């Protein structure tokens, strides 16, 4: 099998734009020549400061695409990096003052960026949300684009259930943050197990296998809530915070898992947080007795992202591979590549071009996802996370 490039999910730029949302209100693309480079108008792209991790890699892809657009000469583009939603709001204020924006691609770093989006609406500047879809302003976006977060949660629920997870088992959940990304992933996880809304995770369709999966046992909402309410923590996408939580709770987690048939399941919303578990095992924080107990359990660990470092763990080529092989009975990551931000920028270009744009205001476009584990990790090219 030919290795899949990191731009796999960037195929959105080549797909037909025939898909429309049922949202009311048709977007009116800007077709005036003033949106061109010669007219002085600018495509502004707001995103994270490139350093490490998923968001930083999204910023790296975005910055590269902005450079390519400027080299092409049809449009001017600027990448505006920041580290918080509040900083993005300040950038929006400056963009409005510049009075030269053709459109804004808005990767909101946290929900405080809502006021920035509202300011763009008031100023009449077209904008597109990427990844974090902030409710309220999303109804006025020319497009809301992200990976399919409902499918991500459903994929993890499918994989954990396939590996034996049943009502009453022990589950640890590493939550990214309190925004829509994590919320939709949780909704997809719950919908899959209960057999809920198929469009929001009630079914899991894997992009690579082409198969659609349903729950093998329909859980009640109470059963799912009990499973997800045992051990959960908001980690802010941090490996260190996941490690700290486990350091405090691992004794109780192991005790519960031993009493629930010896099975332990980990629902992690990011590769980074999954590394927190590996890092804890390799630290001096837990004693040999706890490690021995952990080794005896059946431990199935999930992740989301596409870090090559985690693929290397799966494939046995990482320094941490022996740890995973010894303590984990299964390890996977749902492919959710930051290269998608390139596609978000290209959608804005398509909107400004005007030709063939059929999305209605407030519409959503969601990239399909797929499961990566030891069986196919060698065929998928990840991004450098560390």
Residue 159 lies in a domain: yes
Q: Are residues 111 and 155 in the same domain?
A: no
Dig out the tokens for 114 from the structure: 């809502």
- Residue 11 banded pLDDT, cuts 50, 70, 90: very low
pLDDT tens digit sequence for 152-203: 999 999 999 999 999 999 999 999 999 999 999 999 999 999 999 999 999 9
- Residue 309 banded pLDDT, cuts 50, 70, 90: very high
* Lateral strand order in the sheet of 127-130: 76-82, 42-48, 101-106, 127-130, 143-147, 364-367
pLDDT tens digit sequence for 223-241: 999 999 999 999 999 999 9
25: left (phi over 0), alpha (psi -120 to 50) or beta: left
Closest by alpha carbon to 243, among 300, 177, 174? 174
Q: Are residues 196 and 281 in the same domain?
A: yes
pLDDT tens digit sequence for 337-382: 899 999 999 999 999 998 789 999 999 999 999 999 999 999 999 9
Residue 386 lies in a domain: no
Q: Are residues 332 and 192 in the same domain?
A: yes
Dig out the tokens for 360 from the structure: 């209605």
Q: Which residues span the domain enclosing 11?
A: 6-146+338-367
Could you tell me the pTM of the whole model? 0.89
Residue 310 lies in a domain: yes
CA 178 from chain centre, in angstroms, equals 13
- Residue 106 banded pLDDT, cuts 50, 70, 90: very high
pLDDT tens digit sequence for 15-55: 334 333 333 345 666 545 445 655 569 999 999 987 667 88
Q: Are residues 184 and 253 in the same domain?
A: yes
Q: Are residues 63 and 106 in the same domain?
A: yes
- The reported pLDDT for the residue numbered 8 is 44
* CB neighbourhood size of 73 (10 A): 10
Q: Are residues 171 and 291 in the same domain?
A: yes
Residue 1 lies in a domain: no
Contacts of 126 (CB under 8 A, 6+ apart): 27, 30, 102, 103, 104, 142, 348, 351, 352
Residue 131 lies in a domain: yes
Q: Are residues 294 and 174 in the same domain?
A: yes
- The reported pLDDT for the residue numbered 54 is 87
Q: Are residues 204 and 308 in the same domain?
A: yes
- The reported pLDDT for the residue numbered 3 is 58
> Partners of 268 in the beta sheet?
174
Q: Are residues 229 and 274 in the same domain?
A: yes
Q: Are residues 85 and 157 in the same domain?
A: no
pLDDT tens digit sequence for 241-293: 999 999 999 999 999 999 999 999 999 999 999 999 999 999 989 999 999 99
Burial of residue 121, with CB atoms counted within 10 A of its CB: 0-12 exposed, 13-18 middle, 19 or more buried: middle
């Amino acid at each position: 099998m030919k290795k899949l490039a990191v731009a796999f999910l960037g195929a959105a730029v080549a797909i037909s734009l025939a898909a429309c949302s049922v949202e009311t209100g048709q977007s009116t693309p800007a077709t005036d020549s003033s949106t061109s480079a010669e007219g002085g108008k600018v495509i502004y792209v707001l995103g994270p400061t490139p350093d490490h991790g998923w968001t930083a890699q999204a910023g790296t892809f975005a910055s590269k695409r902005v450079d390519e657009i400027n080299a092409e000469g049809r449009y001017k583009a600027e990448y505006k990096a920041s580290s918080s939603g509040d900083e993005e709001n300040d950038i929006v204020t400056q963009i409005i003052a510049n009075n030269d924006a053709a459109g804004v691609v808005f990767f909101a770093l946290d929900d405080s960026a809502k006021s920035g989006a509202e300011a763009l609406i008031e100023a009449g500047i077209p904008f597109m949300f990427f990844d974090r879809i902030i409710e309220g302003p999303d109804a006025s976006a020319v497009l809301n684009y992200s990976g399919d977060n409902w499918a991500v949660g459903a994929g993890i629920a499918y994989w954990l259930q396939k590996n034996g997870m049943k009502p009453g088992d022990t589950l640890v959940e590493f939550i990214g943050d309190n925004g829509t990304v994590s919320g939709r992933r949780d909704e997809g996880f719950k919908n899959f197990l209960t057999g809920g809304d198929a469009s929001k995770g009630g079914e899991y369709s894997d992009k690579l296998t082409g198969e659609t999966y349903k729950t093998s046992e329909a859980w009640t909402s109470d059963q799912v809530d009990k499973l997800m309410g045992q051990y959960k923590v908001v980690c802010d996408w941090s490996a260190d915070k996941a490690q700290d939580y486990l350091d405090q709770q691992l004794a109780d987690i192991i005790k519960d898992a031993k009493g629930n048939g010896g099975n332990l399941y980990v629902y992690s919303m990011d590769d980074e947080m999954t590394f927190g578990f590996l890092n804890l095992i390799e630290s001096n924080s837990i004693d040999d007795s706890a490690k021995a107990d952990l080794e005896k359990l059946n431990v199935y660990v999930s992740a989301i992202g596409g870090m090559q470092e985690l693929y290397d763990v799966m494939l046995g080529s990482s320094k941490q591979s022996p740890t995973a092989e010894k303590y984990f009975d299964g390890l996977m990551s749902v492919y959710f590549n930051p290269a998608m931000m390139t596609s978000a920028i290209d959608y804005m270009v398509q909107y400004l071009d005007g030709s063939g744009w059929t999305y209605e205001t407030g519409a959503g476009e969601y990239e399909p996802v797929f499961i990566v584990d030891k069986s196919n990790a060698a065929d998928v090219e990840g991004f450098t996370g560390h």
